[in-house]
A = this chain, B = another copy of it.
């Protein structure tokens, strides 16, 4: 994308902030903010449109960020991802920020995702700890070897699932404790695959 001038960047940031607040500005409001004439803003906005940062529906307060620019910042609101941490610079300086993630969207790739609180330490070798929340995608089938949530005897467990000839292997991941792989013959037990674990979230690190 074509680079912006300092003034254009300032105006774009103001517009971005206002859109984040769900409060699209009019050109005259932008002008007031920067002590400019309305038409100065019109020009600046024209440049921002020409350079592909903004689109304009034409309606009053119709300025929106372009898809292209949104892709770059993905900052509707989100958490900044810091790429490099260089000495002598503020960490959150713009040049250090690689992008923004909206975590909600990260997991909302499709419908049917929920969080399940993990209890137990049978998967800690996979980095899934007691108290974590795993993000589960509802599926009735699961690829061989993936981590799944399985309902076994009315109890939900998280294990790596291997589909073998005439049985299903539920393999824990804890090399220290003596957990053993459990084998279940289909139709033997009431087993049901709930979904596939696609992510893990921990918020209580001390």
Chain A 143-196 interface residues, beta-carbon cutoff 8 Å to B: 146-147, 149, 151, 154, 156, 190, 192, 194-195
Q: How far is it, in angstroms, between the C-alpha of A200 and the C-alpha of B129 when the chains are bound?
A: 11
Do the beta carbons of B199 and A86 come within 8 Å of each other? Answer: no
Q: List 5 tightest A-B contacts by C-beta distance, closest first.
A: A85-B156, A127-B129, A200-B202, A103-B103, A199-B203
State the majority secondary structure of interface residues on A. Answer: mixed
Do the beta carbons of B203 and A81 come within 8 Å of each other? Answer: no
Do the beta carbons of B22 and A201 come within 8 Å of each other? Answer: no
Q: How far is it, in angstroms, between the C-alpha of A76 and the C-alpha of B85 when the chains are bound?
A: 34
Would A205 and B194 be within 8 Å (CB), given that A22-B22, A85-B156, A102-B104 are in contact? no
A interface bracket (residues with beta carbon within 8 Å of B): 35 or more
Q: How far is the CB of A55 from chain B (nearest CB, A)?
A: 12
Which of A3-11, A35-43, A46-54, A106-114 binds B? A106-114
Do the beta carbons of B154 and A86 come within 8 Å of each other? Answer: yes
Q: How far is it, in angstroms, between the C-alpha of A114 and the C-alpha of B126 when the chains are bound?
A: 24
Q: How far is it, in angstroms, between the C-alpha of A57 and the C-alpha of B22 when the chains are bound?
A: 12
Q: How far is it, in angstroms, between the C-alpha of A138 and the C-alpha of B90 when the chains are bound?
A: 11
Q: Which residues of B contact A59 (CB under 8 A)?
A: 26, 61
Q: How far is the CB of A125 from chain B (nearest CB, A)?
A: 8
Do the beta carbons of A91 and B203 come within 8 Å of each other? Answer: no
Per-position binary interface string of chain A over residues 23-45, scored 1 when its CB falls under 8 Å from any chain B CB and 0 otherwise? 11010000000000000000000
Q: Point out the residue from B60, B64, B82, B104 that lies within 8 Å of A60, measured CB to CB.
A: B60
Do the beta carbons of A112 and B132 come within 8 Å of each other? Answer: no
Whether a CB of chain B sits under 8 angstroms from the CB of A101 is yes
